[in-house]
Amino acid sequence: MKQRLSIVKIGGNIIEDEQQLSHVLELFSKVEGHKLLVHGGGKKATEIGNKLGIEAKMTNGRRITDAESLDVAIMVYGGLVNKNIVAQLQSFDCNAIGMSGADGNSIKAHKRPVKEVDFGFVGDVEAVNAKNISNLLNAHFTPVFCALTHDGKGQLFNTNADTIAAELAIGMSTEFETTLYYCFEKKGVLRSVADENSVIAHIDSKKYNQLLQQGIIADGMLPKMHNCYHALNNNVKQVCIGDSTMLENSSSNFTTLTL
Ligand SMILES: Nc1ncnc2c1ncn2[C@@H]1O[C@H](COP(=O)(O)OP(=O)(O)O)[C@@H](O)[C@H]1O
Ligand SMILES: CC(=O)N[C@@H](CCC(=O)OP(=O)(O)O)C(=O)O
């Protein structure tokens, strides 16, 4: 029987709020068994970039990563955000170790091919090194991944954190029974975004298509749900979307997704 592995991704709005972040990290530190954290920080990168006079370049809500934006991404995701999270987890007695895809050669990627848009230094994931990550887990470390990957030839890439979480969940499912948790500021996938009490408890493939057609899944939820179904279609046992209470054993008010 495979051991269980919980993969938790925390969203940008949580990272922006010190108190929420600290609360989520405390709950994460109490999650039992093997676990792994993935964080984004897109908003922080925009904020720090602005201070440096490097404005974020977006197309349809997606970041274009030129050479100087990549430097900002490396500094903010791999440095500021990652190290703060690792230090906080250590304060909760969780033996966290900060990781990018280059560390331990854990996530290899290639530059996204240019179609209508050239996204610059954005990486599409090719391979997850499950053996090396498992070695860390079995040595009782808790890996904390930022939104950076590499090509094995010295080039780092910016890769969306939701995608990294899904690809890690898929890659690690050769060794573990993986559950993927997308933890953000809302209680789950909502029937109406303005109403926190409209959590949809369970979504399967049929319902997913209905919600898409009804326009209930929109904005940031579109790529998130796409990543969820990509993971479920590739051996990931279960995917959950919700707020920090989802990490508490007693909570049931969040969205679970199945095929
Ligand atoms: N049906 C929905 N339920 C919940 N959130 C939704 C829904 N449709 C769109 N959203 C939006 O998606 C956002 C989450 O996406 P995003 O900001 O990319 O997440 P993250 O914080 O994890 O990076 C929410 O803040 C919300 O505004
Ligand atoms: C290529 C790409 O989309 N990279 C993302 C990585 C950060 C991220 O995913 O942050 P959130 O989870 O906080 O949105 C970006 O630069 O915005």
Could you tell me the distance, in angstroms and rounded to a whole number, from the CA of residue 110 to the centre of ligand 2?
17
Task: State the 10-residue block means of pLDDT for the chain, 259 residues long.
Answer: 96 94 98 97 97 93 94 98 98 98 98 97 98 98 98 98 98 97 97 96 97 94 96 96 91 92
If you measure from the C-alpha of residue 102 to the centroid of ligand 1, how many angstroms do you get, rounded to a whole number? 29
CA–CA separation, 8 and 173 (whole Å): 14
User: What is the per-residue pLDDT for 251?
Assistant: 74
**Does 122 contact ligand 2 (Cβ within 6 A)?**
yes
Helix (H) or strand (E) holding 225: helix 221-232
Q: Which of 124, 158, 219 to mutate to test the pocket of ligand 2 (most atoms within 8 A of CB)?
A: 158
In angstroms, rounded to a whole number, what is the distance separating the alpha carbons of residues 242 and 190?
Answer: 10
pLDDT of residue 93: 98
Identify the nearest ligand to the CA of 70 by its number.
2
For domain 3-257, give the fold: Carbamate kinase (3.40.1160)
Closest CA to 220 of 252, 190, 253: 190
* Closest-approaching ligand to the CA atom of 228: 1
Please report the pLDDT score of residue 197 as a whole number.
Answer: 94
Q: Where are the domains of the chain?
A: 3-257
pLDDT given for residue 1 in this prediction? 87
Q: Is the CB of 159 under 6 A from ligand 2?
A: yes
Q: Which residues are annotated as a binding site for substrate?
A: 41-42, 63, 158
Give the distance (Å) from ligand 2 centre to CA of residue 148.
9
CB-ligand 1 contact for 193 (6 Å cutoff): yes
pTM, two decimals, is 0.97
CA distances (Å), origin 249, targets 31, 98, 152: 9, 26, 39
